[in-house]
Amino acid sequence: MLITIPDILDAAALSEVRDLLAKTAWADGRKTAGPEAARVKRNEQADLKSRSGTTLHTRLKDAITKNAVFQAAAQPARLSRLLVSRSGEGQGYGTHVDNALMGAGANRIRTDLSFTLFLSDPKDYEGGELTIDWAGMVHSMKLEAGSLLLYPSTSLHRVEAVTSGQRIVCVGWVQSQVRTSEQRDILFDLANLKASMRGSLPGDAPEHLALSKIVANLRRLWAEN
């Protein structure tokens, strides 16, 4: 599924992120791409190992992982290290599929889901849409700053060329506790149902306990260690 999650970063958090970005150095984005992707990748990558970059990485990761909708939809077991990408005029990222495995040693993960957290206001740049070929359709996305798009890593996708302005995003990958998208969809639907029931039924209603039992037993069946 493609899931849009608004307000991962509120206005104050976005302001802090942008201040940190202004202090952060940038390098050729092809250094972080696999051999095939490097041929079509034309952007810059923020140095997230510097002092300001480390703080930036922490702020972004905390905002993403603490979001309840992200947790319910992704069922994350592990996340990759985040990347922050900048595309200026004429830059983009041609059609590619993400590597199935990322990282090395203890940090190696299987990429089940990809996400893009938009950091630039869409009115500040032209072009730069994230285009995903999924489920027999082409989806072109350009979200508000602070919003995140979660999508299957198995899909072909690209970033259209920026024609003016600057596009800045944070990207990352998830190894899910629940491997199949169908199972994650069911758990996400149940999480939404549970949230809806909290507003319509008293806290001691037996339906809450029954639903909690169903969710726990499905996770027991499906979750990987």
DSSP code at position 103: S
Same domain, 50 and 155: yes
Per-residue pLDDT, 41:
86
Same domain, 188 and 170: no
Integer-rounded Cα radius of gyration of the chain: 18
Per-residue pLDDT, 43:
93
Closest-CA residue to 128 (of 159, 156, 150): 159
Per-residue pLDDT, 29:
79
Same domain, 116 and 217: no
Q: How many domains does the chain have?
A: 2
Per-residue pLDDT, 32:
73
The number of helix segments (H) and strand segments (E) in the chain equals 6, 17
Per-residue pLDDT, 203:
85
Closest-CA residue to 71 (of 205, 198, 187): 187
Same domain, 118 and 75: yes
102 within 8 A of 111, measured Cβ to Cβ: yes
Percent composition of the chain: helix, strand, coil (DSSP 3-state, to 5): 40, 30, 30
Same domain, 94 and 9: yes
Residues of the chain with pLDDT under 50: none
Same domain, 24 and 129: yes
Same domain, 170 and 186: no
77 within 8 A of 177, measured Cβ to Cβ: yes
Per-residue pLDDT, 69:
97
**Structural domain span for residue 187:** 181-222
Per-residue pLDDT, 169:
98
Pairing of strands 156-159, 83-87: unpaired
Same domain, 83 and 38: yes
The CATH number for 39's domain is 2.60.120.620
Same domain, 93 and 166: yes
Same domain, 127 and 198: no
pLDDT in tens, 164-189: 999 999 999 999 999 999 999 999 99
Same domain, 170 and 193: no
Domain edge (last residue) among 155, 176, 197: 176
pLDDT in tens, 96-135: 999 999 999 988 999 999 999 999 999 999 999 999 998 8
Same domain, 45 and 111: yes
Burial 18-27 (b: 16+ CB within 10 A, else e): eebbeebeee
